Amino acid sequence: MKQPIFFRPVFQERIWGGTKLRDVYGYDIPSERTGECWAISAHPNGQSVVRSGEWAGMPLGQLWQEHRELFGYYDSDRFPLLTKIIDANDDLSVQVHPDDEYASNYEKGEWGKTECWYVIDCEEGAEIIFGHRAKTKEELADMMKREQWDQLLQRVQVKAGDFFYVPSGTVHALCSGLLILETQQNSDTTYRVYDYGRRDRDGKPRELHVEKALDVITVPHVQQSIEPTVVKMAGATVTTWVRSDYFTVSKWEVHPRLEMERIQPFLLLSVMAGTGAIGTEEGEWPLQKGDHLLLPYQFGPFRITGHVQLIASQP
């Protein structure tokens, strides 16, 4: 298989969602409260589908099960990653994710969730919640019980182009005015810590998961330090932000040409801006803003041409 596999995303409506997925990327969103584009996903709660070619219409999960050769027979019982674009039109709940061991024990075999964020765009003064100030579990529980959120939660101002690594156990939240690309483990397990007293469509308070959150929150908070590796070439710049046990994530800025050798076991690409093409000795395929694709095992050497910015990830 020497062709890229393009995907059609699936969209998730959220109480905090908006219209940027349509306004910025031209997606056909289901409503004006669309919060998430699950761009490359094999999770049962929302699977992206092959857009064209030999497997057109096939969900990624089925492709993974039936054609493991495309993924280099990667050693995993499920597709390992999930790529999202998130429109935080309003504040997301303050939340935390479990690690693999806790999720396996308490979430019916679901994986834990370590993730990372690339800030595509944001309003001036936009913030995230990232970490807490409690020194012990007892202090954490007491401050949560007393709802001392301003004293407990750490806020960080952000700007377009920022990158954050969010290991399981990290208290976090995207705040209003953010458009981000998220790379994460293939999991949909989230424990809400605080939700600003919001109610769901039926007028009921949204569910919190305080006991489980207290089980998994890392105390004290561990500050994450990002030390990117930047490689400048004649026609491109590649910035690698993170190489972890779960994923490697990079930004590729192509002006006007990037040549890459074969990357194993497979590679996920999301086009953040611009237009271009990806080509091999066997053909060339156009790229435009909002495209999401997978380069399968043994795709071989390839080139990307044009003026285009991509986020690349691999397990």
More confident residue, 201 or 239: 239
Average pLDDT over residues 283-295: 97
* Contact (Cβ atoms closer than 8 angstroms) between residue 181 and residue 142: no
pLDDT at residue 203, rounded to an integer: 85
Which amino acid belongs to residue 19? T
Query: How would you list the strands of the sheet with 94-96, edge to edge?
Result: 153-157, 127-132, 172-174, 94-96, 191-194
Which neighbouring-strand residues pair with 115?
A: 166, 184
Span 225-237, pLDDT tens digits? 899 999 999 999 9
Span 168-184, pLDDT tens digits? 999 999 999 999 999 99
Supply the DSSP symbol for 179: E
Rounded alpha-carbon distances, angstroms, from residue 282 to 1, 137, 285: 11, 58, 10
Q: How far is CA 29 from the centre of its chain?
A: 18
Query: 117, 64, 83, 87: which is closest to 9 by C-alpha?
Result: 83
pLDDT at residue 1, rounded to an integer: 60
Residue 199, pLDDT > 90, answer no
Query: Computed over its alpha carbons, how large is the radius of gyration of the chain?
Result: 20
Instruction: pLDDT band for 2, please (50, 70, 90 cuts).
Output: confident
Query: 102, 312, 307: which is closest to 213 by C-alpha?
Result: 102
C-alpha to C-alpha distance for 28 and 22, rounded to whole angstroms: 6
* Contact (Cβ atoms closer than 8 angstroms) between residue 210 and residue 146: no
Mean pLDDT computed over every residue of the chain: 96
* Contact (Cβ atoms closer than 8 angstroms) between residue 306 and residue 20: no
E strand or H helix at 273, and its extent? Answer: strand 267-280
Which amino acid belongs to residue 273? A
Average pLDDT over residues 288-295: 98
The token duo for 211 is 């006991």
Residue 238, pLDDT > 90, answer yes
* Contact (Cβ atoms closer than 8 angstroms) between residue 220 and residue 134: yes
Rounded alpha-carbon distances, angstroms, from residue 104 to 80, 107, 186, 187, 205: 15, 6, 13, 11, 27
Span 38-86, pLDDT tens digits? 999 999 999 999 999 999 999 999 999 999 999 999 999 999 999 999 9
Query: 255, 248, 287, 284: which is closest to 271 by C-alpha?
Result: 287
Span 160-169, pLDDT tens digits? 999 999 999 9
pLDDT at residue 237, rounded to an integer: 98
pLDDT at residue 43, rounded to an integer: 98
The catalytic site residues sit at: 192
